[in-house]
Homo-oligomer: A and B are copies of this chain.
Amino acid sequence: MKQNYKLIIAYDGTRFYGWERQPGRDTIQGKLESVLTQLTGAPVEVIGAGRTDAGVHARAMTASAVLDTDKSPEAIRDYLNRYLPDAIAVREVKPCADGFHARYKARGKTYRYTCFDGAVKPVFDRRYVTVLDYCPDEERMRRAAAYLTGEHDFAAFCGNPRMKKSAVRTVDSITVERRRDRVIFTFHGNGFLQNMVRIMVGTLLEVGRGLREPEDVQTILESRDRRAAGSTAPPEGLCLMKVDY
C-alpha cells in the first residue's frame, strides 16, 4: 500500500557530489533513491528539505518519499542502513500525512559552520572543519553578523547568478562561539539561497581577520551584488543540523 514517509538522514558529505541526484555521480539523493527502488521494486523519488552542496554534511536532513511496501518503518530504516554507503545513515523513518512535502513544508533550518584555527591541525574531525591559517576575531564577526540578522534581500549572498526569484529571506539568529581552537557559526533562518551560508561565513571571516569592517556588511547587503560580498567558504566546515516543520 502506498504511504508517504518522513525520513531523517545524517551524512558525511566528503565524498559526495552533494544532495541532488546527478547521472553518473554519487549523491545522497541518488543513493537513497536507488536503495528505496531496490526495496520497493519501483522507481522512488526522494524529496529533500533542501539541496546541500558537494562536500557539505548533515546531521538531520529531512526528506519525504512515497513508498509502496509492506515493511514496517523500522524495517525500512534497517534496510536502508544496510545497503547505503557507510557515510549515510537514516536515523528515522516515520509514516506521515499525504500532504507532507519535505521542501514545501519546511519552515526553518539550522546550519552550523565550524572553523579550526589552532596551531596543530585536527586529526579526528578533520573532515568536518575548515582549517584557517589565521585567528579571526569573534567580536568583530558578531558585530558584522548583526547586520545580516533579520529580513533582507540576500542577492549579494547568493551563489546562483541566474537566480530570478526573490532573494528576500529572514535569518532569525546568527551566533559566533569560540570553543578553544574552534570557531562555530550557527545560523537559523526560514530559508537559505544557494551557497548563502558559505558566502556569509566567507564574508564574516574577512571581517574577522580585519580585511573588512563589520559595518561594510550593510553596504554589501544593499548592493545586491555577489561581487561585493566575500568569498564562498569551503564546504567541509558546513553541516545542516535541523529542519523545522
Interface residues of A (CB under 8 A from B): 10-12, 57, 59, 74, 77-78, 81, 86-91, 119-126, 128
Determine how many copies of this chain the complex contains: 2
Q: Is the CB of B121 within 8 A of A86?
A: yes
Q: Is the CB of A89 within 8 A of B12?
A: no
Given contacts A91-B120, A120-B91, contact A126 B86 (CB under 8 A): yes
Nearest B residue to A88, CB-CB: B123
B74, B81, B91, B128: the one contacting A124 at CB < 8 Å is B128
Q: Is the CB of B121 within 8 A of A89?
A: yes
Residues of B within 8 A of A121 (CB): 81, 86, 89
Residues of B within 8 A of A86 (CB): 121, 123, 126
Q: Is the CB of B123 within 8 A of A81?
A: no
Residues of B within 8 A of A88 (CB): 123
Complex formed: what's the CA distance from A59 to B77 in Å?
Answer: 34
